[in-house]
Amino acid sequence: MKSKVFRYKLLVTIIGAIGGFLYWKYIGCASGTCPIKSVWYLMTLWGTAMGYLLGDLSVNFVVKREAGNDKTV
């Protein structure tokens, strides 16, 4: 179970990092006055953090749902 949770969190974190980079690439801050959005590595780091937090939050729901399914069987 722990291996499954770790892989899920890692996958969502990587998707967040890719999302942060793509946000910088296609939307970003054209003027360069935005401290986070104007530099690719800061936006990628921000996306990674958001991905990790989303993965950590959603894994709790997945674990509870699977635990509920195990009790009914």
- Three-class SS of the chain: CHHHHHHHHHHHHHHHHHHHHHHHHHCCCCCCCCCCCCCHHHHHHHHHHHHHHHHHHHHHHHHHHHHHHHHHC
Query: How confident is the model at residue 71, as a pLDDT?
Result: 62
Residue 50 within any structural domain of the chain = yes
Residue 11 within any structural domain of the chain = yes
Query: How confident is the model at residue 70, as a pLDDT?
Result: 64
How many structural domains compose the chain?
1
Query: How confident is the model at residue 16, as a pLDDT?
Result: 95
Write down the residue that tokens 């296609």 correspond to.
26
Domain that holds residue 33: 7-66
Q: What are φ and ψ of residue 33, in 5° steps?
A: -90, -10
Residue 34 within any structural domain of the chain = yes
Query: How confident is the model at residue 72, as a pLDDT?
Result: 55
Query: How confident is the model at residue 63, as a pLDDT?
Result: 75
Percentage with pLDDT > 70 across the chain: 93
Residue 56 within any structural domain of the chain = yes
Q: How far apart are the first and last CA of the chain?
A: 18
Q: How much is the pTM?
A: 0.77
Residue 73 within any structural domain of the chain = no
Q: What tokens does 49 get?
A: 């953090």
Residue 46 within any structural domain of the chain = yes
27-49 pLDDT, tens digit per residue, is 888 777 787 778 889 999 999 99
